[in-house]
């Protein structure tokens, strides 16, 4: 069976714009944390590049951990079924936790994740997302630190993928299947 061929669109968000926004968010997180240590929880695999960019700009102590959560599989639309594939290695009770996500689309995954992590009694729990796609929202979710708002197109780059492709692009662009 032949691989799907994808066509990339024009750049939607440049590498420079991403870096500038990450610096702003890093400074805001540092202000909000007021000298407290935070635990940044990156949601694998898409959030890795964004998380690295943001934490480089945080001036308070930061520790990191990762979770792998899926509601997509190889599809381009959320299935609505959330699965935790890799859980945290770190206990979060009494800690300031920031969930770092690549994109908030339907909101189902993050809503589930926020509820699950809240039950572990962190001191605070906030969300930092590179992209917000409100047109697709099916669950109400508040994003404390949002990078950019995007329209209802499938996008790749800067950690986001389709079939594990295009994560390495240093910018955000749309993609269509041919």
Mean pLDDT score across all residues of the chain = 92
**C-alpha distances in Å from residue 114, one per residue of 40, 81, 125, 142:** 14, 15, 8, 10
The pLDDT tens digits of the residues spanning 124-150 come to: 999 999 999 999 899 999 999 999 999
Average pLDDT value for residue range 54-72: 92
123, 133, 52, 171 alpha-carbon torsion, rounded to 10°: -170
Per-residue pLDDT at 72: 54
Query: Residue 82: is its pLDDT beyond 90?
Result: no
- As a three-state string, the secondary structure of 118-131 is HCCCCCEEEEEEEE
User: What's the confidence (pLDDT) of residue 1?
Assistant: 41
- Give the CA angle between residues 121, 134, 51 to the nearest 5°: 55
Q: Which residues are catalytic?
A: 105
The answer to whether residue 75 scores a pLDDT higher than 60 is no
**pLDDT computed for residue 60 by the predictor:** 97
Which residues, 6+ apart, have CB-to-CB distance to 125 below 8 Å? 97, 98, 99, 114, 117, 118
Residue boundaries of the structural domains of the chain? 14-153
Categorize the per-residue pLDDT at 168 as very low, low, confident or very high, splitting at 50, 70 and 90: very high
CATH code of domain 14-153: 3.40.50.2020
**Per-residue pLDDT at 97 exceeds 70:** yes
pLDDT tens by residue, 7-18: 999 999 999 999
């Amino acid at each position: 069976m032949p691989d799907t061929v994808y066509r990339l669109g024009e750049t939607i968000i440049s590498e420079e714009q991403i870096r500038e926004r990450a610096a702003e968010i890093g400074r805001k997180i540092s202000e909000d944390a007021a000298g407290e240590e935070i635990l940044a929880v990156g949601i694998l695999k898409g959030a890795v590049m964004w998380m690295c960019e943001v934490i480089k700009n945080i001036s308070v102590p930061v520790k990191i951990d990762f979770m792998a959560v899926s509601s997509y599989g190889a599809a381009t639309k959320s299935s609505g079924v959330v699965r935790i594939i890799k859980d945290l290695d770190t206990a979060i009770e009494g800690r300031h936790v920031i969930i770092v996500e690549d994109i908030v689309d339907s909101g189902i995954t993050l809503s589930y994740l926020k509820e699950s992590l809240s039950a572990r009694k962190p001191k605070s729990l906030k969300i930092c997302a590179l992209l917000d796609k409100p047109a697709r929202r099916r669950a109400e979710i508040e994003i404390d630190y949002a990078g950019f708002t995007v329209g209802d197109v499938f996008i790749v780059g800067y950690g986001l993928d389709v079939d594990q492709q295009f994560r390495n692009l240093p910018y955000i662009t749309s993609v269509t299947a041919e």
